[in-house]
Every structure is written in structure tokens, then in C-alpha cells.
């Protein structure tokens, strides 16, 4: 059987950019970044040096991992780019999100606010439209994302969203389980013979 896990080279993280976040969330973000580096995964992230975003990048960088930040010009002052890693400056949010999607083979969602919600709703919408089949793993400490999952279930129960969308992600509570869950799901996708075209937005 071919080495399917080798197809996973870069993971995009969506997460909060607030330094006021629960300290345990920021500490977990750092550890998750470290785990990406140790697994040989390149981190693709929003380019900021603050909050969970900055912690994930610092964790990956400190462990010797490759990191690419993508940040719009207007957010450079607010989100304070982490200058120790490669950073691409783009014109707007749409360009940022598209580049993050295109450069990533998989996605990890950490605790975040309205910006993170916007990103993951779009990502799941594209999944529902069969535009991609990239793994999506939520870090769900103490049930942080449970209300969001309940909302998706509500739309399924109302027959407004297909039931298959409930299988579009996986969630783990512990930071140390994020990367193993991602690698395991990626292997399952290729063992099942997922078409390469579904790995990207077409």
C-alpha cells in the first residue's frame, strides 16, 4: 500500500488572535504548533504574532518547523506579524483566505471568535459543495466548539443541511491528540481512494 500520509505536507490553522484569550488556550496552541513541526508538517496561518495565532507559530518555529504567515496589509498593525517566520502580505481578507486554503492540505481549528467562525463556515460550505475533501480537525477543549456543532446539527434536523456534513470534521479535546487525529484521517482519506481533485478548490 502506498505511503498515503506523505501526501499531507502543510496544515492551515484557524484560531483567535486575542491576547485576552484563556491562557490555557494559548498554551495549547503553542504545543499544537510544536506537534506540527515534530510531525514534519508546515504551518500555514494568518500571519499575526498575537493570541493563539502567534502562539501556534512560535511553537512550530521553536521546534524547527516550517511556517508561512499570510496577512492583509491593513492588519499588520493590529495583529503584529511574527517576523521570525516567512510572511506574505496580501491586499485583502479574501486573498488571505484563498491563499491559506490553497497552500494547505488539511485544517485545524482552535478556539476563536467571529473571524474564526467566518473561516470555518466558509470551509465547511465548500466541503458541502464537494469542492474539497481536506481533513478538518477541531481542538475542542472543555467543549468549546459544542455550541457550534449543535447549530450545524440543528440545520441538519431542519433538513436545511445534508446529514453528511456532520461527518465533515473530527473533534478532539486534548492538544496532544490534534496532530495524530489529523494524520490518521488523512491516511483514511487516501486509503478510501479520494480523488485528488477534491483536495483543492476547483
Query: Does residue 2 belong to any structural domain of this protein?
Result: no
What pTM was computed for the model?
Answer: 0.90
**Which stretches does DSSP call E strand in the chain?**
10-14, 42-45, 67-72, 86-90, 106-109, 136-139, 170-172
Query: Does residue 50 belong to any structural domain of this protein?
Result: yes
Question: Which residues pair with residue 139 across a beta bridge?
Answer: 172
**How many domains in the chain?**
1
Look over the chain and give the mean of its residue pLDDT values, rounded to a whole number: 90
Query: Does residue 1 belong to any structural domain of this protein?
Result: no
pLDDT for 78 equals: 77
pLDDT for 192 equals: 66
Nearest Cα neighbor of 143 from 174, 185, 184 is 174
DSSP 139-197: E-GGGTTHHHHHHHHHHHHTTSS-GGGGGS-EEESSGGGHHHHHHHHHHHHHHTT--GG
Helix 114-128 and helix 146-157, axial crossing angle in degrees, nearest 10: 40
**Which stretches does DSSP call E strand in 31-111?**
42-45, 67-72, 86-90, 106-109
Percent of the chain with pLDDT over 90: 80
Q: What's the domain range around 98?
A: 8-190
Residues 59, 33 contacting (CB under 8 angstroms): yes
Query: Does residue 3 belong to any structural domain of this protein?
Result: no
pLDDT for 202 equals: 40
Q: What is the CATH number of the domain that holds 69?
A: 3.40.50.450
For 70-122, write each residue's pLDDT tens digit: 999 988 877 787 888 999 999 999 999 999 999 999 999 999 999 999 999 99
Percent of the chain with pLDDT over 70: 91
Amino acid at each position: 500500500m502506498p505511503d498515503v500520509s506523505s501526501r499531507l505536507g502543510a496544515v492551515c490553522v484557524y484560531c483567535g488572535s486575542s491576547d485576552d484569550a484563556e491562557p490555557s488556550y494559548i498554551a495549547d496552541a503553542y504545543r499544537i504548533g510544536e506537534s506540527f513541526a515534530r510531525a514534519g508538517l508546515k504551518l500555514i496561518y494568518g500571519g499575526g504574532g498575537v493570541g493563539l495565532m502567534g502562539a501556534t507559530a512560535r511553537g512550530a518555529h521553536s521546534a524547527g518547523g516550517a511556517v508561512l504567515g499570510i496577512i492583509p496589509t491593513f492588519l499588520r498593525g493590529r495583529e503584529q506579524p511574527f517576523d521570525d517566520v516567512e510572511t506574505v502580505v496580501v491586499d485583502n481578507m479574501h486573498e488571505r483566505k484563498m491563499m491559506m486554503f490553497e497552500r494547505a492540505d488539511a485544517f485545524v481549528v482552535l478556539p476563536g471568535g467571529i473571524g474564526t467562525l467566518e473561516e470555518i463556515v466558509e470551509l465547511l460550505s465548500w466541503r458541502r459543495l464537494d469542492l474539497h475533501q481536506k481533513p478538518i480537525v477541531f481542538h475542542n477543549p472543555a467543549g468549546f466548539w459544542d455550541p457550534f456543532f449543535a447549530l450545524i446539527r440543528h440545520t441538519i434536523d431542519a433538513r436545511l443541511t445534508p446529514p453528511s456534513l456532520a461527518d465533515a470534521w473530527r473533534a478532539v479535546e486534548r492538544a496532544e491528540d490534534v496532530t495524530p487525529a489529523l494524520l490518521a484521517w488523512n491516511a483514511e482519506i487516501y486509503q478510501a481512494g479520494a480523488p485528488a481533485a477534491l483536495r483543492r478548490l476547483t
